[in-house]
Amino acid sequence: MFSDREKLIFAMEIRQCFSARRIPVFVLLILTAIFGVVQESEVSPFVVVFLAVFAILELQFNNILFRSPHELEALSMFPISWRRVVLVKNLATIVLTGIVTVIVSMTVLYFSPKPFEGRLIREALMYASTMIFPLLHVGNIESLRSPRKSTGWRMDDLVQAAGMLLFVLVLSLPYIMFTVIVRLPILNVFYATGMAWYWYKYSLPNIALKIEQQKTRLCTTL
């Protein structure tokens, strides 16, 4: 199903997410999430968890072409289609979303003053399923529109992180509508399935075509 080179790209995505330079971001956002849940409020702990998770993984979603300054040039030399490259990177992001969600939720819920309820897991899984594929689609577009060869504690990164949270709020509206307003949570399943189909059928080939058309410009002008 996956070639050795595709497996290598997948493994590098996982490893780079947990690189030493990313650890301070992890720690800072987890501490912020803990501070958020210890406050006495009506906000569900999982709202805080997912805000922290998506902020931590902003680079995985919104900067898929440059995990390192010369990654795009290196990938251009691989005998792999851009559609397969983006597919593998997006699948790695899905796996990382699960891993980071478990890490953050275990840490945050430990400090939460509210009792844990089993239904929260079901609701969290439902919410995540409605979010992941729209975020991948938007992130692929942002990766091409605003690529960043170098990342860190720069203004561009802060702006992109703020934009990521805005995307999360907007893309949460279908879940809120189906679950809170219409009160038909089953509609989330159909919505998530439709978005997964759209991502695979249309988003992947379109972004792959645009990368192929613009890779020379991206490599030479950034």
Neighbours of 53 (CB within 10 A): 26
What does the pLDDT average to over 23-27? 83
What does the pLDDT average to over 62-78? 82
What does the pLDDT average to over 11-34? 84
What does the pLDDT average to over 84-110? 93
Query: Could you tell me if 90 and 65 are in contact, meaning their C-beta atoms sit under 8 angstroms apart?
Result: no
Q: What is the pLDDT of residues 98-127, one digit of tens each?
A: 999 999 998 888 887 777 677 778 888 999
pLDDT value at residue 20: 67
Both tokens assigned to 40: 């006495």
Query: Could you tell me if 96 and 17 are in contact, meaning their C-beta atoms sit under 8 angstroms apart?
Result: yes
pLDDT of residue 136 exceeding 90: yes
- The pLDDT confidence band at residue 48, using thresholds 50, 70 and 90, is confident
What does the pLDDT average to over 40-44? 66
Residue type, 15: R
Residue by residue, DSSP assigns 2-50 as --HHHHHHHHHHHHHHTSGGGHHHHHHHHHHHHHHHHS--SS-HHHHHH
Greater confidence (115 vs 137) lies with 137
- The pLDDT confidence band at residue 219, using thresholds 50, 70 and 90, is low
Q: What is the pLDDT of residues 162-216, one digit of tens each?
A: 888 889 999 999 999 999 899 999 999 999 999 999 999 999 999 999 988 887 7
pLDDT value at residue 152: 64
d(CA 214, CA 210): 6
pLDDT value at residue 54: 92
- The pLDDT confidence band at residue 42, using thresholds 50, 70 and 90, is low
To the nearest whole percent, how much of the chain has pLDDT over 90?
A: 40
Q: What is the pTM of this model?
A: 0.91
pLDDT of residue 222 exceeding 60: no
**129-142 as b/e: b if 16+ CB within 10 A:** bbbbbbbbbbbbeb
pLDDT of residue 22 exceeding 60: yes
pLDDT value at residue 155: 65
| Terminal CA-CA length for the chain | 34
